[in-house]
Amino acid sequence: MLGMMMHRPLSIIEILRFAAQSYPKGEVISVRTEGDLHRTNYADTFARVGQLAHALQALGINPGDRVATLAWNGYRHFELYYAISGSGAVCHTINPRLSAEQMTYIVQHAGDRVIFTDTTFVPILEGLKDQLPAGLRFVIMTDRAHMPDNTLDALCYEELLDGQPTSFDWPELDENTAAGLCYTSGTTGNPKGALYSHRSTLLHAFGCAVTVQTCLREGVRIMPVVPLFHVNAWGLPYSAPLTGASLIFPGGALDGASLFKLMDETGVNSSWGVPTVWQGLLDEIAKQGRNPNGFNEVIVGGSAAPRSMIEKFETSGVNVCHAWGMTEMSPIGTHGLLNEDMKTRSFKDQMDLKSTQGRRIMGVELKIVDENGARQPHDGQAVGELYVRGNGIISGYFNNPEASAAAIDAEGWFGTGDIASINEDGFLLIQDRAKDLIKSGGEWISSIDLENVVMSHPDVASCAVIAVAHPKWDERPLLVVVPVPGKTPQKAEIDALLLQHVAKWQLPDAMELVDALPLTATGKVSKLTLRQQFAGYKLPDMD
């Protein structure tokens, strides 16, 4: 027997309409490319989003069209998220850190009709213009006074909005209508597109809102350092207005000093981003000898947060929530917030829990399987490939049947490519990406485990462990370290530290000191580039 309830389609624009009515003064503060700090709120944003929807219509954008953005975190980018999806088109966020080749590929693959760009990225587009489809229009996200000279024949964002009515007759869309498109960064092969729907976006936002209650509520100021141009800034453009939390957008200056200053000025409470960003902030905090005003929470993910980083924040009174997810998951899968009873445990026990990737958010299911696809127990011991299922997880890739078929298993779960264990309480521990695990003599070594320990050495600023081919053992670990300025970490000391946590056979065979580690387009250490850099590396016992 079926229930007898109305079925109203879930729709993205309803989030902002709700925020405009329920939290009209919820703040949206942005560092602008124009150089100043811009302040608005949810009520005024909703009105401008109405104007923008009219402007999109005037540009000839139809339902289903892909409209791209190439922009920092700021209020205009936020407006585009709502106006594009709300009018039935698809908001395709482009990561400006992609290579020219990848960017050209995804604009063509997505079939974008218009690209909205910050002034910063105009030169990139000018360089690519000849390879991009004819007929593609460009809009520069600024006012007339700040329009740069350009060869794009570009329109001006503020001029498009000027004089448009603030109310728009939002269409009633099927909730399965495509709303957003984000490509994985494609470290191997071409990027693949995750095509989000209105329904998946709302259910993900609800899942986050009911789980991450520390900050997703009215009165909290959240700073997404995680970009709007990749993985939907971890869903914050939706979950923050839904819950009345304010948004502080940092623009393009993401170094520790700039973030500290902005957080201090605006009273950011909760900051969301990848570990590399928080390393910069921690350095600035050490320099200033204090935390920014009002700062009390970090949500960290995208790659494993080193335990030493978590402990540093926690001992200074900042709650750390270690989250895990991926583009294909909208993107949040797990969060590291502790239950009240867990908060009464010893500091060490709490840090043990916080160093894991945490527990699933509402609406995400997890399973680990062995190489034959057989489910493994959630006992904290068994390790296997992690598969996920839920309403915010892709069922396939946009216009890519081959990749789609490979992504989903016979039971309909999505294979993450991560290797993990899950304990009895549901805490997930990511051991590695499958392709980053080091296979030594038939045993596996987790690069994340080694990095975690090495990062706690006082002379180490950052590090990565990669596999190097070995004639006898197949692969052996090579440790690549960026020293703290003026320091020269010694391998013997680091080995001694590692031996407190790992078996002797897992110790790296060699250590190399470098000035910097290569980063991917999403700000993570690029192990692929490092492996290429050290291809053919001769380990000491290979002479």
SS3 content of the chain, % helix, strand, coil (to 5): 35, 25, 40
Is the Cβ of residue 45 or residue 327 nearer to ligand ADP in the bound state?
Answer: 327
Q: Which of 164, 187, 400, 404 binds ligand ADP (CB under 6 A)?
A: 187
Question: From the list 184, 200, 269, 350, which residue makes contact with ligand ADP (rule: CB under 6 A)?
Answer: 184
366 touches 333 (CB < 8 A): yes
Task: Select the residue interacting with ligand ADP from 304, 321, 407, 478 (CB under 6 A).
Answer: 304
Binders of ligand ADP among 329-368, rule CB under 6 A? Answer: 331, 357
Region 188-227 residues binding ligand ADP, contact defined as CB under 6 A? none
Q: Is 444 a catalytic residue?
A: yes
DSSP per-residue codes, 410-467? TTSPEEEEEEEEE-TT--EEEEEEGGG-EEETTEEE-HHHHHHHHTTSTTEEEEEEEE
CA distance 19 to 42: 6
List the beta bridge partners of residue 29: 39, 248
Per rule CB under 6 A, is residue 93 in the interface with ligand ADP? no
Is 78 a residue that touches ligand ADP (CB under 6 A)?
no
| 118 interacts with ligand ADP by CB under 6 A | no
Selecting among 142, 184, 243, 266, the annotated active-site residue is 184
302 binds ligand ADP (CB under 6 A): yes
Per CB under 6 A, the segment of 321-329, 456-464, 492-500, 533-541 that binds ligand ADP is 321-329
Q: Which of 328, 385, 416, 527 is catalytic?
A: 328
Among 93, 327, 421, 506, binds ligand ADP (CB under 6 A): 327
Q: Identify whether 187 is a catalytic site residue.
A: no
**Active-site residue flag, 328:** yes
- Tell me the pairing of strands 221-224 and 270-273: parallel
Q: Is 278 a catalytic residue?
A: no
Closer of 37 and 519 to ligand ADP (Cβ): 519
419 CB-contact burial (10 Å; exposed 0-12 / middle 13-18 / buried 19+): buried
Residue 539: in which H helix or E strand, if any?
Answer: none
- With binding defined as CB under 6 A, does residue 407 bind ligand ADP? no
Alpha-carbon Rg for the chain, nearest whole angstrom, is 23
- From candidates 73, 185, 319, 506, binder to ligand ADP by CB under 6 A: 185
Considering the rule CB under 6 A, would residue 522 count as an interface residue with ligand ADP?
yes
For residues 317 and 305, give the distance between their C-alpha atoms in angstroms, rounded to a whole number. Answer: 17
Residue 526 found at the interface with ligand ADP (CB under 6 A): no
Q: Treating both helix axes as pointing N-terminal to C-terminal, what angle do 42-58 and 75-86 enclose, rounded to 10 degrees? A: 60
- For residues 159-178, which are near ligand ADP according to CB under 6 A? none
Per CB under 6 A, which region of 102-110, 234-242, 322-330, 461-469 contacts ligand ADP? 322-330
Question: How far apart (Å, rounded) are the C-alpha atoms in residues 309 and 279?
Answer: 8
Alpha carbon of 260 to those of 268, 307, 522: distances in Å? Answer: 10, 22, 21
Q: Which is nearer to ligand ADP, 86 or 227 (CB)?
A: 227
Provide the token pair at 342.
């867990």
Judged by CB under 6 A, the residue of 23, 196, 324, 473 near ligand ADP is 324
Q: Which stretch binds ligand ADP (CB under 6 A): 211-219, 345-353, 416-424, 485-493?
A: 416-424
Query: What DSSP string runs through 162-216?
Result: TT--S--------TTSEEEEEE---SSSS--EEEEEHHHHHHHHHHHHHH-TTTS
> Please, which residue, 114 or 231, has the CB nearer to ligand ADP?
231
246-249 vs 221-224, strand pairing mode: parallel
Q: Site residues (CB under 6 A) for ligand ADP?
A: 184-185, 187, 231, 301-304, 322-324, 326-327, 331, 357, 416-418, 430, 433, 520, 522, 524
Give catalytic residues, as residue numbers. Answer: 184, 328, 439, 444
